[in-house]
Amino acid sequence: MRSVNTYIGRPIERVEDRRFLRGRGQYIDDIKRDGQWHATIVRSTTAFGRIVKLDTTAAMAMPGVHAIVTAADIEKPIPTIPFRRKNPTIAPYAQPVIASEYVRYVGEPVAVVLAESAELAEDAVGEVTVEIEPLAPCVDAQTSAAGTHLLFPGTGGNIASTFTAQCGDASAAFAKAPYVRRERFRVQRHTALPMETRGLLAEWHANENRLTVSGAAKLPFFNRRAMAGMMGLPETSVDYIELDVGGGFGARGEFYPEDFLVAFAARKFEHPIKWIEDRREHFTAIGHAREMDAEIEIACLKDGTVLAMRGTMHVDIGAYVRPNGMTPVRNVIQFTAAPYRIANLDFTAHGVVTNKTPAGTYRGPGRFEGCFFCERMFDIAARELGVDHLEMRRRNLLTDKDMPYALVGIAPEDGFGDSECDSGDYRVTLDHCLKEFGWEEKKALAGTLRDGRYHGIGVGCFIEGGASGPREGARLEVLPDGKVDVYVGSSAIGQGIETIMAQIAADALEIPMDDVRILHGSTTYLKEGFGSYGSRATVMGGSAIILAVEDMLKAFRNLAAARFSVPLEEVSLSEGVARARDGRSLTLAEAAAVGKLTGEGSFSSDKRTYTYGTAAAHVAVDPKTGSVQVLDYVVVDDVGRTINPLTLHGQVVGAAVQGFGSVFSENLLYDANGQLLVGSLADYQIPLATDYPHIRAITLEQFPAPHNPLGAKGAGEGGIIPVGGAVTNAIASALSSLNVQPTELPLTPPRLWELIEKARAAATAQD
Amino acid sequence: MKLPPFDYQAPATLGEAVQILSDGAGAAKAIAGGQSLIPILAFRLANPSVLVDLGGIAGLNDITISEAGISIGAMVRWRELEDHTSLRSACPLIPAAVGHIAHYQIRNRGTIGGSLAHADPAAEMPGIAAACDARIEIVGRTGTRKVGAQDFFLGPLTTCLAHDELITAIHFPPWPSARRWAFEEFSQRRGDFAFAGIALYYDERPDGIIENAHVGVIGATHIPRRLGAVEDTLNGRKFVDTVLALAAKTASSSVEPDDDIHASAAYRRALVGTLVERSLIAAANRGRAS
Amino acid sequence: MKVRFEVNGSSVEADVAPRTTLCDCLRHHLGLTGTHAGCEHGVCGACTVIVNGEAVRSCLLLAVQASGASIVTVEGLADGDKLSPLQQAFQKHHALQCGFCTSGMLTTLHALLSDEPMADEDRIRDVLSGNLCRCTGYIPIVEAALEAREHYAKKQGPKAG
């Protein structure tokens, strides 16, 4: 492996850019097949009820309509979508691929119209008659948890699963602590909102009994396995093809009902079936995320040392448990106090079903929420204790002496296994961040009113979990011209893996990067792969590539030794050339020309990586409008080792801006009838180019990751995690004279204004 | 979100357009810039049988500035209003407001006539038209008529236009060069519909007394209109703190905003007061060395 | 209905229903899939194309309305195989990740900078507020636009400034 003049560590411009810049990307709606039909989904407009009538006669008579699929066409029992992780109680809450007896959320698929074009399919949707006998919907997790109205008859209640995280003896610690404080927090329902909506194109090859599904993302191999099971096919008869993907952020790529429905229709009618989600539909059909209520308690010594934390979260997971629906639930309790050394923890999180669109993961799932709860709790405690809140961080943050530091274990066991923070000194990124931010200089502004606005500064410390296991696969083939095709199981979702993996492969092979081509994601490329989630692609895919290269170079060396008729130890390898001591040489191209030269690698790891860092924010709050301007935002993280600083920086900044959207403007609001009140991009408000221009992201490489050959830590999600905590702490700092303590997101201008008015009224009442 | 099916006509004259609309008996709809209409069709909130494209009709694109005032053809696009150099002095309130309308690409296509006919109470131009006592020129089967802004808007998304009628021009009164004016709106993000907005102007006598105050509100009422009660707190008075405070307070109680998913009525009321205050300060400071 | 217009310098013809948007006409009738449909209700800007020199949302324009127009899409920005200075600046500054909003960003900026080569950062951000991006956080897009101005200023010659 190359050790000088490496590609790794250089800000190399992305190889995938050319086609996107030229408008030659191939996203799912850009491809078509002869004879294809278009699918449009008929969705429930009632949040909870029993289907009493489903009449497709009028719709079938509409121009261009070929067929309509309902539950009646699908062999019972209606397949349910498999879970990605084991859990003892969630089985009854699995999502059926189509509603048959009950509908449980507005947007649930009820029928599929198949027509000659998307226009004609949509015209017919309005003609499908669906009569639903409504039942009283439940739209609040805590009410639902009380369980008087069961969403699923026959279950014991509406809590699909309860996770606990316990270590030490929190009760004892709370009993003797000189300071304890309880607070309630809430994060709103929102969603990843990639710029490309979802889409799939399913083809059934009858003569081969083979199904091809294009439009895969994130985890094509799991989805293939799931699809094969649900369609009654061997896994090897199903291909999931990954094209270009317009963003994922955790939401796109999981197995959804539509995956099955288009495949089912393709096989039943023997026509390629194309389905493109429209944006309005997207809001009720894509995975929602993040909605949870938390009651958190902290126990401290007078000097701010945290003795214990405990709490209960109710996570509103929507109507069904999605394949990864429990990930945020178990994550929030593992990560609420995660960058800190707290020996006594006792958290409980309930995953509660409600009559809303099912929820799953969104970048930093459970971690964004947990960091918000913890960082606010720390600042509230510090203020009341009269302790400097930075000192409180320093006192409690994990240092290199604590490493490896076991994170609190989660019950029930779900296959994630135990986890420990791998390496680092979390105080270093704190100090570095404060310095970059200019904390000392900005301190004087905190809480002051200038030109009608209150200024405030705040911090948030975080860790992000990366390199999710269990393994990843790669293989490579040397072509007769000496170029190398590298196949890897990681999925591209915009993060630049064609470039990053090429950097790694080229360094491992010691050949120019231009001679390496990365092929990714599709199940046709590898026997086994896993995908891109939990910030794993660089570490898992990259490490698998290194192993595949090692495997091939071993074979190459053996070949050379045989060719030169010398012992193996006399063959040296460098820059893609094998040499004998007497100067004879053999290039990769020459070797590949005479016979197949390939390598395979599978990198396994049950040890996750933990990128960590600190963010600091400076805000100015207009108390009359509730408007907040982020005047400066600095985040410093340590990723162990940077493969490509250009793309890494892009990940952190992009994630930070998403975080601002979570804090200030995004909200999937439901009314009491379970109707989603947001159905367009005019109402679902994500950050614009005018909103957050002042972001600085700095990456350190002081503590390499100890458990992978790259020494790198996954870093795709860290950018979003501290935004909630850091920014709301800054707002609290700004409004400290008014005693406004934000505990709920989002802080839209009207909501912040209401908090300010409430605080003013309370202050007046006291006078 | 494909559009529902419709026929399409692109008449060359106003007369032809009116005829098609009249024959359609409410099922025909005029399309100007399409920036409001096409999203409505995409959401299938309307189902016209024929769209009548006004883009090919001559005579609807002129901007005329004279002693009689400012006349703007209904098909004038926002971009043209933004770029029009004389308009900046002839009626500065208009270009100031237009910069807040939606976004760059939309302003290349959206028209002033289309916006007024659409009559979204959260939109800027209906509020400007009301504030300035604009007169809206209309043509229909029975001929032409002019309607004052105060009579043109009947409710949210509702105007006095009959199904066969089209706006042809909007007429603004002449604007004295010494006029004090301001436009202030507050929205979550650039280009969003504002939570509320204020467009105001007044003339100042040599002794500093305010007269002819016009205060128009955007987004906090069902019908864009002038806030007469606020104007009464200003007319005949000098610009001092107490007048400012009273004007702001009166404004808050003069509007009847709704609660919606973005903001409460209480918030919008308070915001209207704040915007009136800020507008008056901006108007008073305009052109003065501070 | 038959429509005829010029796209990226070539004369093209299509037979479309009145309800076909210019976006769908370009993508599905003319095979120019570089223009993307991100929302179909005029908010996201991914569908932006240049019509008679002006950036417009192609999802809010009927194909029949564009008859006779001169249209530039993202496919028309490069000079053969050579990326334009704006496109090169995007690559240099890592102004794209998933690439889905990129076409609209490029056409919008090309229209803006062709008209206003000295647009400052505030103006660039103001214009880009009509184009949603979920990946980059906009900062590198603005940096790329600022760098590309030099080329547009040179192109405009004595008119610039």
B81's tokens: 């209003």
Of A367, A395, A369, nearest to A382 by C-alpha is: A395
Interface test with A, best of B3, B35, B188, B275 (most A CBs within 10 A): B188
Q: Which residue of C has its CA nearest to A24?
A: C34
Nearest to B104 among C21, C55, C64 (CB): C55
pLDDT score of A367: 97
- The chains found to touch C (3+ Cβ pairs under 8 angstroms) are A, B
pLDDT at C16 over 60: yes
Tens of pLDDT, residue by residue over A655-687, are: 999 999 999 999 999 999 999 999 999 999 999
The CATH code that applies to domain C2-74 is: 3.10.20.30
Count H helices and E strands in chain A, helices first: 19, 32
Kindly determine whether residue C43 and residue A20, on different chains, have CB atoms separated by under 8 Å.
Answer: no
How confident is the model over A680-731, as pLDDT tens digits?
999 999 999 999 999 999 999 999 999 988 999 988 889 999 999 999 999 9
B19: closest CA of chain C, how far (Å): 20
Residues in B lying within 8 Å of A, measured between beta carbons:
1-5, 39, 43-44, 186, 188-193, 195, 261-264, 266-267, 270-271, 274
Distance from CA of C154 to the nearest CA of A (A): 22
Residue of C nearest to A283 (CA): C39
Q: For testing the chain A interface, which of B47, B100, B195 should be mutated: the one with the most A CBs within 10 Å?
A: B195
Of B41, B106, B189, the CB nearest to C57: B106
Give A575 to chain C, closest Cα distance, Å.
28
> Does C41 sit within 8 Å of A682, measured CB to CB?
yes
Report the C-alpha gap between A227 and A241 in whole angstroms: 13
Q: How far is B106 from chain C (nearest CA, A)?
A: 7
User: Residue A37: what are its φ and ψ, rounded to 5°?
Assistant: -110, 155
Angle value at C-alpha A721, between A455 and A15, nearest 5 degrees: 115
Q: Give the C-alpha distances (Å, rounded to integers) separating B51 from B6, B8, B9, B38, B40.
A: 7, 5, 6, 11, 13
Q: What is the pLDDT of residue C157?
A: 66
Q: How far is B48 from chain A (nearest CA, A)?
A: 14
- Describe chain A by its helix, strand, coil percentages, rounded to 5: 30, 25, 40
Among C40, C60, C130, beta carbon nearest to B104: C130
Instruction: Work out the mean pLDDT of chain B and round it to a whole number.
Output: 96
pTM: 0.97
Please give the residue of chain B at the shortest CA–CA distance from A683: B262
Q: Find chains touching chain B: ≥3 CB pairs under 8 Å.
A: A, C
Amino acid A526: pLDDT:
83
Chain B residue nearest residue A686, CA to CA:
B189
C152 contact A CB<8A: no
B270 and A691: CB-CB below 8 Å?
no
Which chain B residues are closer than 8 Å to A687 by Cβ? 189
- Closest Cα of chain C to B114: distance in Å? 14
Domains C2-74 and C85-156 agree in fold:
no
Q: What is the pLDDT of residue A529?
A: 82
**Which pLDDT score is estimated for A219?**
87
The complex scores an ipTM of: 0.97
Closest to B262 (Cβ–Cβ): which among A119, A278, A750? A750
pLDDT band at A534 (very low <50, low <70, confident <90, very high): confident
Q: How far is A481 from chain B (nearest CA, A)?
A: 48
pLDDT tens across A386-405, in order?
999 999 999 999 999 999 99
Nearest-by-Cβ selection for B1 from C41, C127, C129 = C41
Shortest CA gap C112–chain A (Å): 15
Contact flag C33-A29 (C-beta cutoff 8 Å) = yes
Mean pLDDT to the nearest integer, A542-552: 95
Pick the residue from chain C with its C-alpha nearest to A716: C135
Say if residue B136's pLDDT is above 60: yes
Question: Residue A524 pLDDT more than 50?
Answer: yes
**B10 chain-C contacts, CB cut-off 8 A:** 64
Pick from B4, B43, B104: CB nearest C108: B104
User: A754 and B5: CB-CB below 8 Å?
Assistant: no
Question: What is the rounded average pLDDT of the residues A175-187?
Answer: 98
- Measured at the CA of B172, the angle between CA B170 and CA B174, to 5 degrees, comes to 150
Say if residue A85's pLDDT is above 90. Answer: yes
Q: What's the pLDDT score for residue C158?
A: 60
Closest residue to B6, CB basis, from C18, C56, C112: C18
| Mean per-residue pLDDT over chain A, rounded | 96
The whole-number pLDDT of residue B290 equals: 40
Tokens found for residue A306: 């945290």
- pLDDT tens digits, one per residue of A302-325: 999 999 999 999 999 999 999 999
Q: Do A750 and B186 touch (CB under 8 A)?
A: no
C138, closest residue in chain A (CA to CA): A689
User: What CATH number labels C85-156?
Assistant: 1.10.150.120
Distance CA C66, CA A145 (A): 56
**Other CB atoms within 10 A of residue A672 CB:** 11
Strands A449-450 and A190-191 turn out to be unpaired
Q: Taking residues A535-558, report their average pLDDT.
A: 92
Measure CA A230 to chain center. Answer: 25
Nearest to B105 among C21, C48, C65 (CB): C48
- For residue A378, pLDDT beyond 50: yes
User: Residue range C137-145: average pLDDT?
Assistant: 98
- Which 31-90 residues of chain C touch chain A by CB within 8 A? 32-41, 43-44, 46, 73-75, 77-78, 83, 87, 90
Interface residue of A13, A14, A17 to substitute, partner C, most C CBs within 10 Å: A17
pLDDT at A315: 98
- Report which residue type is found at A540: M
Helix (H) or strand (E) holding A306, with range, is strand A306-318
- B208, with CB counted inside 10 A (0-12, 13-18, 19+), is exposed
Q: Strands of A609-622's sheet, edge to edge?
A: A449-450, A453-466, A609-622, A627-638, A695-700
**Reduced DSSP (H G I as helix, E B as strand, rest coil) percent helix, strand, coil of chain C, to 5:** 45, 15, 40
The chains in contact with chain A, meaning 3 or more Cβ pairs closer than 8 Å, are B, C
- Indicate yes or no: CB of A677 within 8 angstroms of CB of B186: no
Q: What is the pLDDT of residue A207?
A: 96
Mean per-residue pLDDT for A71-84?
Answer: 97
**How crowded is residue A384: how many other Cβ atoms within 10 Å of its Cβ?**
11
Query: Where exactly are the structural domains of chain C?
Result: 2-74, 85-156
Checking if the pLDDT of A148 tops 90, the result is no
Contact A385, A377 (CB under 8 A): no
Question: Do A18 and C83 count as a contact with CB atoms less than 8 A apart?
Answer: yes
- Segment B231-250 shows an average pLDDT of 96
Nearest to A646 among C43, C94, C141 (CB): C94
Q: How far is A292 from chain B (nearest CA, A)?
A: 19
- Sign, CA dihedral C13-C18-C23-C28, equals negative
What is the least distance, in Å, from the CA of B139 to any CA of chain A?
33
Residue C161: pLDDT band with limits 50, 70, 90: very low
Lowest average pLDDT, out of A153-157, A260-264, B60-64, goes to A153-157
**What residues pair up with B87 in beta bridges, in sequence order?**
none
β strands within chain C, DSSP E: 2-7, 10-15, 48-51, 54-57, 70-72
DSSP state of A704: -
